[in-house]
Amino acid sequence: MSLSLTNRHCWFEATARARINGLLDTGSFSEILPPAASQPSPHLAQLDLPGAFDDGVIVGYGQLEKKPIFVIAQEGQFMGGAVGEIHGAKIVGLLRRAAREKPAAVLFLIDSGGVRLHEANAGLIAISEIMRAVLDARAAGVPVIALVGGSCGAFGGMGIVAKLCSAILISEEGRLALSGPEVIETVAGVEEFDAKDRALVWRVTGGKHRYLMGDCAMLVDDDIAAFRTGTTAFLADWREPAPSAALLRARQQVLENRLAAYGTLRDGLQVWAALGVAQPESVPMLDRDSLVALKEGLPT
């Protein structure tokens, strides 16, 4: 190993702003409602907490390989990336503008545990509005691509939002699920799910597992440049399909089949074995390229 390791800028640790800077063409990004023009959350102020100028999400537009792109980037280090009223309104506004202006894509950098509980109903409503806005943008022909790889993953309402996007690009550090591990343990007990067993959490919600299961279109290295090349490559081949009941029914059938096949399994290892992986225990240690090759070799 060598200093090429130190030249990587990992996605996992980077702030939302650093991710945008590395993802888009240099200097092309313009922020809508920048911190100086935005407002911190009035709900947090009422609870005697300092907010963030951008309420934990950055929205704007720029270019990716010269193509016009809209961007939403959640800041996972602020309140767990959770969605509050202003945070949600910025996202919804950006998506509605995308539906009108039809950029080449919206890149949705998700890094969130879901609803910001401090803001209660305002947070819940915000998430449902985001869901509506994602579907409307897609219906207008604009791909909405989720990029997941931060410390908060995509959980709760934002996990649902991720699955409503056209596709998800994920790194092995990323996670995608609905209920958080601690919540499952609290509600169902540690025998059901040991939230402190981090290897288990990643076998069940982590990027490699989601990629092998087909929930994510692409697995990329935990590296901002890798997300950039992955996104560029993905968009080059992607055509946003028109909304179609037939497509939805087909997808529902796939999910029903999946539930029937794997519904009783309790660990990623068992699922991978069922998928036809010869040595499931080796998956967590495989590098990205080896895992992609492995998946391509699996029976369909």
Partner 1 sequence: MNAPHHREWDTLRQSRARRLERAASLGLVGKNGREIPVDRIIDLLEAVIQPGDRVCLEGNNQKQADFLSESLADCDPARIHHLSMVQSVLALPSHVDLFERGLANRLDFSFSGPQGARLAKLVQEQRIEIGAIHTYLELFGRYFLDLTPNVALIAAQAADAEGNLYLGPNTEDTPAIVEATAFKGGIVIAQVNERLEKLPRVDVPADWVDFTVLAPKPNYIEPLFTRDPAQITEVQVLMAMMAIKGIYAEYGVTRLNHGIGFDTAAIELLLPTYAADLGLKGKICTHWALNPHPTLIPAIESGFVESVHCFGSEVGMDAYISARSDVFFTGADGSMRSNRAFSQTAGLYACDMFIGSTLQMDMAGNSSTATLGRITGFGGAPNMGSDPHGRRHASPAWLKAGREAYGPNAIRGRKLVVQTVETFREHMAPVFVEELDAWKLQKTMGADLPPIMIYGDDVSHIVTEEGIANLLLCRTPEEREQAIRGVAGFTPVGMARDKAMVENLRDRGIVRRAEDLGIDPRMATRDLLAARSVKDLVRWSGGLYAPPSRFRNW
Partner 2 sequence: MEMLEFRFDSKPGARPTDPALCGVVGSGNLEILVQPSEQPDCCQVRIKTSARGFGATWRAVIGDFAASHAAGGTAIAINDMGATPAVVSLRLAQALADYQGGAL
Binding site for partner 2 (CB under 8 A): 15, 17, 34-36, 40, 45, 48-54, 56, 75, 77-79
Tell me the number of residues near partner 1 by CB under 8 A. 18
Residue 292 Cβ vs partner 2, minimum distance, rounded to whole Å: 32
Provide the residue type at 63 as one letter: Q
Residue 111 Cβ vs partner 2, minimum distance, rounded to whole Å: 12
Nearest CB to partner 1, comparing residues 13 and 101: 13
Judged by CB under 8 A, the chain residues 157 through 196 that form the site for partner 1 are: 172-173
Report the C-alpha gap between 26 and 220 in whole angstroms. 21
199 touches partner 1 (CB under 8 A)? yes
Residue 284 Cβ vs partner 1, minimum distance, rounded to whole Å: 4
Q: Which of 202, 212, 187 is CA-nearest to residue 262?
A: 212
HSE-up of 190 (CA within 13 Å, CB side)? 3
Question: Which of partner 2, partner 1, none sits in contact with 75, Cβ below 5 to 8 A by type?
Answer: partner 2
Residue 6 Cβ vs partner 2, minimum distance, rounded to whole Å: 16
Contact segment (CB under 8 A) with partner 1 among 6-14, 110-118, 133-141, 272-280 equals 6-14
289 touches partner 1 (CB under 8 A)? no
Report the C-alpha gap between 102 and 81 in whole angstroms. 27
* Contact assessment for residue 148 and residue 211, using Cβ atoms and an 8 Å cutoff: no
Judged by CB under 8 A, the chain residues 7 through 26 that form the site for partner 1 are: 9-10, 12-13
Q: Which of 267, 270, 272 is CA-nearest to residue 204?
A: 267
Residue 52 Cβ vs partner 2, minimum distance, rounded to whole Å: 4
* Contact assessment for residue 220 and residue 211, using Cβ atoms and an 8 Å cutoff: no
Distances (CA, A) of 300 to 53, 152, 190, 292, 296: 48, 31, 34, 14, 9
Residue 177 Cβ vs partner 2, minimum distance, rounded to whole Å: 23
Question: Which of partner 2, partner 1, none sits in contact with 5, Cβ below 5 to 8 A by type?
Answer: partner 1
Nearest CB to partner 2, comparing residues 25 and 65: 25
* Contact assessment for residue 162 and residue 110, using Cβ atoms and an 8 Å cutoff: yes
**Exposed / middle / buried, residue 148 (Cβ in 10 Å: 0-12, 13-18, 19+):** buried
Point out which residues bind partner 1 (CB under 8 A).
1, 3, 5-6, 9-10, 12-13, 172-173, 197-199, 201-202, 206, 284-285
